[in-house]
Structure 1
Amino acid sequence: MKIPNPISRTLPISIFCVGLIISCSGVRTVDFETPVDTSDKQITFQERQVYFQEDLGLFVDNTFDGARLNGVEKLNDSTLKAIIRPENEPINSSPYYAFKIASNTPKKMYVSLEYPQGHAHRYAPKVKKPTKDWEILDSTKIFIMDSLVTLELSLDEQPTLIAAQELQTSEQVKDWYQDLSSGKGYVRPYIYGTSKMGRELPVMDIYRGGKTSKPIIVLLTRQHPPEVTGFFAFKAFLETVLDDSELSNTFLDTHRVLAFPILNPDGVDLGHWRHNAGGVDTNRDWSKYRQPEIHQAVEFIEEQLKKDGARLLLGLDFHSTHKDVFYTNTSQEGSTLPHFEKDWFSALEENIPHYKVNESSGNSTKPVSKGWFLKRHRAVGITYEIGDNTPRGRIRTIGRVSAQEMMKILRSNTNLN
């Protein structure tokens, strides 16, 4: 299996002294009411291969990053079964799939996605031809019966990519953040560590002028591999923070942003449903930091706060679920921004056409990131969820406006700076 090189291909990237932060005596752990065992769990790797159904003239391929296909069986002359299994269990019931399929001759075929019993279909199939954009498969060509989902496909010699969500692999993410950072001296990309399988863990350190004592905002995404709509919102959010507008420039004069664009690159490239290469949901590891991705992210954040005499004001963790929702902490426990959520949500409703904030508030009893931000640093912690099927243009609008209104609110809190 290919492991990415730990050095950037094009844009020069500073490499944070991982040895230094790992050699520290350790960061402070945080206790949660409902502990979760995040020690390594065994995973099953899918076998990467091109499956050839000679009598049907079909090729089915899972040899690319982000693929998920555990086997292929012929059911009849017009139907193929694609076996889809998770990396391990128990696991959140969100079956993820991605594979390419091609035919020697143009034909209509049916492909049945077989999930393990008890796992319901979640993601509407997306299709992509090599020279075309992603499209959602017409709902009239999708047939669902219990744990079996059948797709009607028109195939030819050009491979058709079928996936639960648009692919956003670690290399694609790298290309994006390198391009976004290029020519912007106030954006400093670092490789702050490596994943369990040796993939790069990047962070973008963003501020103008000096950084001493500047309050910090942390942005996280891709803890859960298939949740790309959250990543799309993260992209629009960060691109707005870096758009060189008057608002952006003045905000970054007084604040600092640490943006983590892919916290689970192993899970993303391995095509996992939920977990990292350690078989663990990393968004349950914000207590003891047993997984390297979270351990190193926490160490990096803590080191920056300590070294530069800064406070952590806000943490936004971008995810996807069945609908748009903001998960907040009910008890603020002396948060440094006690009115931020109310002001921010009101501003979103005022500035996004036909938009109503869906807030779900609850105390973080399990070790998730939003609870860590509050319990460890008295910072506002929010899990920023985008719906699986939220229109992509709408996601860009929500991401852009939420960044603008965040900057306005934090910029106005001059007593914090």
Structure 2
Amino acid sequence: MKKQTPFLLILIIFLLLLVGCTGAKKVAFKTPVDTTTKPIQNQVKKTYTISELGVFASNEFDGARLNGFEKLNDTTATVFISPENGPINNSPYYAFKTWSNTPKSFYFKFKYPKGYKHRYVSKINEGGNWRIIDSSNVFTNDSLVTIKLDIGKDPVTVAAQKIQSSTHVEEWYTDLTNKNSQYVTLKTIGKTTLGKNIPALDIHNGETNNKDIIVLITRQHPPEVTGYFAFQSFLETILSNSKLSKSFLDKYHIIAFPIMNPDGVDLGHWRHNAGGIDTNRDWSKYNQPEIKQVVNFITKSLKKNKAKLVLGLDFHSTWYDVFYTNKKREGTSLPNFVSNWFTALEENIPNYKVNEAAGNSTKPVSKGWFLYGHNAVGITYEIGDTTPKKNIEEIGKASANQMMRILLNTKMNLLTN
């Protein structure tokens, strides 16, 4: 027994250290949400064929969503779209490729399960060029929507939003990292349920000790591509190598997560991850691997650098442009940031009016986690489904520039007072 004592002592010490190091602290919310993994219904990957019409449709690509395709009549097919599981938001996502043996005009009638209706205006990709379908080719009867397309032997992609799969996102952030290697370190912080990388961009200039941290996240919800485009513009502005951006990166540390739910994105999910869960309801107990690993990475970064998290921005999409904010501001890390930022946006974007919806988070969403977990400013940065790309880029650029300016002024005031 004496020979085993040192081994047992070492084992006990190891276990105590392990318990002390694993996991970030949980954050309590007024309205808990069960985020334990739930079954999903995977779509069958296949090419559907209507032989007598010589018309085809396929979901055999990342980001596709097509659950059935059947002849309705000689000029129309029914497109069946179902969610990954339920309950789920009424935001049906779809994406498929279609073609025919001979050139023809053909109609596609969307059909969803009872209780769901069409949300997204169709985007069309022909030969690599995306465009919004002409309204003259969209026909609505109550909640049923039919679109008309000219199809031939070359496949046409029809999608709720421009497809930005995990591969597309990886190409973008890899290129961004390579162009800004002085400031950006690309890290893989873990794996999803399906084994996909969860990437993080660690952005700063020089030492990180005691530098306040800003967290940027996007694509918690797979179809919300316009929010991702704003995230791109925002981050590219921070890395623009301007005098402002250089000064900012001297003083602040950015951690950016460019794709929070790669499984859901590539599976063509309406909203959830491969665990059948809305990840933006898991910022309390961290049951899902994506949120658990992101939170652990942020927590370790804060501890390692003896730093404070002061601002978190979560980029999403909805029916219109809106910023969801927390009402609680006094006593937070940046009590005047929201009002100063929104004033600056209206002053620096022509004909722009900030649409703010303020309310302290009751469910476990990211902006509440920033507030309750770190006493930081948390904002859900929403871009409209149909906001033009040019406008998205303008808003993203201006909001990044004004954020940097305000935070640098805040830092300067703290140093001089």
TM-score bracket, normalised by the shorter chain, equals over 0.9
Match of 1:142 in 2: 138
Q: Does 1:177 align with 2:173?
A: yes
1:239-269 superposed Cα distances (whole Å, 9 cap, x missing partner): 0000100000000000010000000000000
> Which range moves more in the overlay, 382-391 or 23-32?
23-32
1:145-204 superposed Cα distances (whole Å, 9 cap, x missing partner): 344311111111110000000000000000000001114221001001111111010010
Distance 2:326 2:192 in 1: 29
1:30-56 superposed Cα distances (whole Å, 9 cap, x missing partner): 000000000011100000011121111
Write the mapping of 1:11-160 to structure 2, written as runs, cut at 5 A: 24-131=21-128, 133-160=129-156
Q: What amino acid maps onto 2:310 in structure 1?
A: L
Distance 1:342 1:91 in 2: 33
Three-state SS of the structure 1 residue aligned to 2:346 is helix
Q: CA deviation at 1:120?
A: 1.9
Three-state SS of the structure 1 residue aligned to 2:339 is helix
Distance 2:382 2:183 in 1: 28
Match of 1:242 in 2: 239
Three-state SS of the structure 2 residue aligned to 1:39 is coil
Match of 1:192 in 2: 189
Match of 2:157 in 1: 161
Distance 2:23 2:387 in 1: 40
Selected match of 2:307 from 306, 310, 331: 310
Distance 2:203 2:353 in 1: 31
Distance 2:326 2:141 in 1: 38
Sequence identity percentage:
58
Distance 1:266 1:407 in 2: 32
Unaligned runs of 5+ in 2: 1-16
Q: What amino acid maps onto 1:216 in structure 2?
A: I
Is the 1:333–1:378 Cα contact (8 Å) retained in structure 2? no
Structure whose residues are more often helix by fraction:
2
Distance 1:281 1:299 in 2: 19
Is the 1:170–1:265 Cα contact (8 Å) retained in structure 2? yes
Unaligned runs of 5+ in 1: 1-19
TM-score, with normalisation over the residues of structure 2?
Answer: 0.93
1:336-393 superposed Cα distances (whole Å, 9 cap, x missing partner): 1000000000000000011000000001000000000000100000000000011110
Match of 1:331 in 2: 328
Is the 2:329–2:336 Cα contact (8 Å) retained in structure 1? no
Distance 2:205 2:123 in 1: 40
What is the aligned length? 397
Larger radius of gyration: 2
1:385-406 superposed Cα distances (whole Å, 9 cap, x missing partner): 0000111100000000000000
Is the 1:115–1:147 Cα contact (8 Å) retained in structure 2? no
Q: Structure 1 residues 366 and 416 mapped into 2: Cα distance closer, same or farther (>3 Å)? A: farther
Is the 1:81–1:114 Cα contact (8 Å) retained in structure 2? yes
Distance 2:355 2:330 in 1: 22
Is the 1:114–1:147 Cα contact (8 Å) retained in structure 2? no
Q: What amino acid maps onto 1:172 in structure 2?
A: H
Write the mapping of 1:217-366 to structure 2, written as runs, cut at 5 A: 217-332=214-329, 334-366=331-363
Q: CA deviation at 1:227?
A: 0.2
| CA RMSD after TM alignment | 1.4
